[in-house]
A and B are shown apart, each in its own frame.
Chain A
């Protein structure tokens, strides 16, 4: 155990990366593993603040009093020509995609 949490390993880091749909090479995982020495110490700094557990977490800079719910109606549409303008491959008015279903 390190700082009250389970030890970080290369395998765990690989798992975290894979959950986010990418991979890194061995050297990159080694660098990250070393970086976690510092990150773990950073996280420990939170626990040193007295009574931190009694504070309500803050998710946004300040209370907004101007938020209105929008009506559930179309407000913006993307023109087909605009949508097609950024595609790598298209045929007529359709985007060409690789076959991924048998």
Chain B
């Protein structure tokens, strides 16, 4: 039963074909069954409570929540040793809203430590594996949330997205991953990585389900000063697959084989061929699709700008992890020594490297060349996109430059166009706070690949519609990883 979509489960629950207790039990059993092989969870909530009084679209539906969101009375580690014993005494707003809507949290999911990574391999409880192929990673940082949905443990999960941390794992896992407009979902209670880029979003197995989840978790929150005012939109009721007359664009250089001359391979050929098919399918659906050229130098600078801004903000955001306010107490004779010891022991090497990078970027002598230039790149990109959205309803593009990589992959050339652009351009969505969704659009070497759609600020419904239309003519809605099927 639990492998169904939220929409289907709602009907079964309302017609009393099943009960919420049965669903939750099945969900928890599956979570345990797959835990050793895939490592989706930091904590599985055996005593997950059912809210009998709620009657909403999410009532009685099991879900999973990324372990960087505060859950009252439930261990919340951010997959880091420095928070390995932390039990919040309050709920994040998104958790509070899910509870109110009647959704049942069955577990806290693994992430890359402090959400600072894209591989799903750096959490303190070990790597998360891809349900389509255990030899491959699922991507990160929302690795456990993606795996739990791809495995069919839960019909939806909550993730966070600072560069592409929902949308890329969704592509690698053959599911839907949605990051709404910045401010649509409150960040109160989310452990910050880079505040100006962080978003809360969701994983589902259908676009309609993403709309349903968003209806449940959106809304103005006085505790988050960047929260947007409420609107009357109801995504579930208003979503439509009629996109006749809609205008879409794609970045010409991203879909151009010549861009990747240095490391072009058969896999990339199939990804680009698939994308060309998507373009034709959108035209069949009545949309227009046009190529738009970007300055290659700006495209090259997107990932470096993301890295710069996120590392700089992260060094500041995580300065409260001292072993005094948060984390296991360090040893030493002075406050400084206690903090120094706690932070030296509490952070993994990767996190320390990122923090040092942030520290370097913020040094007075480097700020102009690094930090301020990165923020200038951000404005150039966002201004260009905002201008384009005056004419177009959405941008489409491949969600990743490869299928999910193997754990022991060869070192990638970090300066190649494939890595700099195709693997990392989704950060555009974070730069401008644009709503952005990934949905499955095909297979390459028996692994799923995804399409990304990014739209204008506050045009979340438009983005959902564009995704919903394509999903309606593709056979991937509701799919679960075949390895576990």
Cβ-neighbour of A28 out of B300, B328, B352 (below 8 A): B352
Chain A residues closer than 8 Å to B234, beta-carbon distance:
none
0/1 interface trace, chain A 66-93, chain B, CB 8 Å (1 if under): 1100000000101000110110100000
Interface check B379, CB cutoff 8 A: yes
Q: A85–B89 contact, CB under 8 A?
A: yes
B183 CB-CB contact with A under 8 Å: yes
Contact: A21 with B304, CB < 8 Å?
A: no
Q: Which of A52, A76, A88 contacts B377 (CB 8 A)?
A: A52
Q: Which of B87, B304, B349, B373 contacts A24 (CB 8 A)?
A: B349
Chain A 18-37: CB-based contact to B (< 8 A → 1; otherwise 0): 01111110001001100110
Chain A neighbourhood of B334, CB < 8 A: 100
A88 to B86, CA, bound (A): 10
Say how far A38's CB is from chain B's closest CB, in angstroms. 5
Contacts of A50 in B (CB 8 A): 297
Measured as residues with beta carbon below 8 angstroms from the partner, the interface class of chain B is: 35 or more
Q: A16-B360, A21-B322 are in contact. Are A61 and B431 (CB under 8 A)?
A: yes
| Chain B residues whose CB sits within 8 angstroms of the CB of A49 once the complex forms | 295, 297-298, 301, 376-377, 380
B227 contacts across to A, CB distance below 8 A? 66
Interface-forming stretch among B282-290, B336-344, B400-408? Answer: B336-344
Q: Which A-B residue pairs are the 6 nearest by beta carbons? A: A61-B433, A57-B375, A42-B304, A58-B379, A46-B373, A82-B89
Question: What band does the interface of chain A fall in when counting residues whose beta carbon is under 8 Å from B?
Answer: 35 or more
> Does B258 sit within 8 A of A, measured CB to CB?
no
Q: Is the CB of A46 within 8 A of B305?
A: yes
Q: Determine whether the beta carbon of A20 is less than 8 Å from that of B376.
A: no
In angstroms, Cα B329 to Cα A10, docked, is: 28
Contact for B333 among A39, A41, A100, CB less than 8 A? A100
Given contacts A28-B349, A62-B433, whether A98 and B376 have CB atoms under 8 Å apart is: no
- Chain B residues whose CB sits within 8 angstroms of the CB of A45 once the complex forms: 297, 300-301, 304
The answer for the CA separation of A88 and B375 in the assembled complex, in Å, is: 41
14 A-B contacts, Cβ less than 8 Å apart? A5-B369, A8-B360, A13-B360, A16-B356, A38-B414, A42-B303, A46-B377, A53-B376, A57-B375, A58-B379, A64-B183, A76-B223, A86-B88, A98-B329
Question: Within the assembled complex, what's the spacing in Å between the Cα atoms of A28 and B347?
Answer: 13
Does B55 touch A at the CB level, under 8 Å? no
A65 to B64, CA, bound (A): 33
The answer, yes or no, to whether A11 is at the interface (CB within 8 Å) is no
Residue of A nearest to B300 (CB): A45
Q: How far is the CB of A95 from chain B (nearest CB, A)?
A: 10
Kindly state the separation between the CA atoms of A61 and B356 in the bound complex, as whole angstroms. 25
B366 lies within 8 A of chain A by Cβ? yes
Partner of A17, one of B307, B322, B359: B359
Q: A39-B357, A46-B374, A86-B87 are in contact. Are A20 and B369 (CB under 8 A)?
A: no
A96 to chain B minimum Cβ distance, whole angstroms, is 10
Chain A residues close to B by CB (< 8 Å): 4-6, 8, 13, 16-17, 19-24, 28, 31-32, 35-36, 38-39, 41-43, 45-50, 52-53, 55-62, 64, 66-67, 76, 78, 82-83, 85-86, 88, 97-98, 100
> B66 contacts the other chain (Cβ, under 8 Å)?
no
Given contacts A4-B369, A46-B376, A56-B379, 16 further A-B contacts (CB under 8 A): A5-B365, A20-B343, A20-B356, A41-B415, A43-B369, A46-B301, A47-B369, A52-B373, A58-B431, A61-B182, A64-B228, A76-B223, A86-B87, A86-B88, A88-B328, A88-B329
CA distance A88 to B370 in the complex (A): 40
Please name all residues of chain B whose beta carbon is closer than 8 Å to the beta carbon of A28 when the two chains form the complex.
349, 352-353
Complex CA distance for A82 and B324, rounded to whole angstroms: 16
B363-A22 in contact (CB<8A): no
Q: Write out the residue numbers on chain B whose beta carbons fall within 8 Å of the beta carbon of A98.
A: 329, 338
Report whether A100 and B344 are in contact in the complex, using a CB–CB cutoff of 8 Å. no
- CB contacts (< 8 Å) of A47 on chain B: these are 369, 373
Shortest CB–CB separation between residue B335 and chain A, in angstroms? 5
Nearest CB in chain B to that of A4: its residue: B369
Does A35 lie within 8 Å of B295, measured CB to CB? no
CB distance from B216 to the nearest CB of A (A): 22
- Complex CA gap A6/B340 in Å reads 27
* Chain A hits for B340, CB < 8 A: 21-23
- Assuming the contacts A28-B353, A38-B415, A98-B338, asked whether A62 and B182 have C-beta atoms less than 8 A apart, the reply is yes
Closest B residue by C-beta to A84: B89
Known: A61-B432, A88-B329. A32 touches B373 (CB 8 A): no
Complex Cα spacing A66 to B219, Å = 13
On chain B, the residues within 8 Å of A61 by CB distance are 182, 196-197, 382, 430-434, 457
**B residues within 8 A CB of A35?**
353, 357
With a CB–CB cut-off of 8 A, which chain A residues contact B90?
82
Contact A5 B356 (CB under 8 A): no
The interface residues of chain A lying within 8 Å CB-to-CB of B363 are 16
Contact residues in A for B382 (Cβ distance below 8 Å): 58, 61-62
Contact with A along B73-93 (1 / 0, CB 8 A): 000000000000111111000
Q: Are B359 and A56 in contact (CB under 8 A)?
A: no
Closest residue of chain A to B327 (Cβ to Cβ) is A88
Q: How far is the CB of A49 from chain B (nearest CB, A)?
A: 5
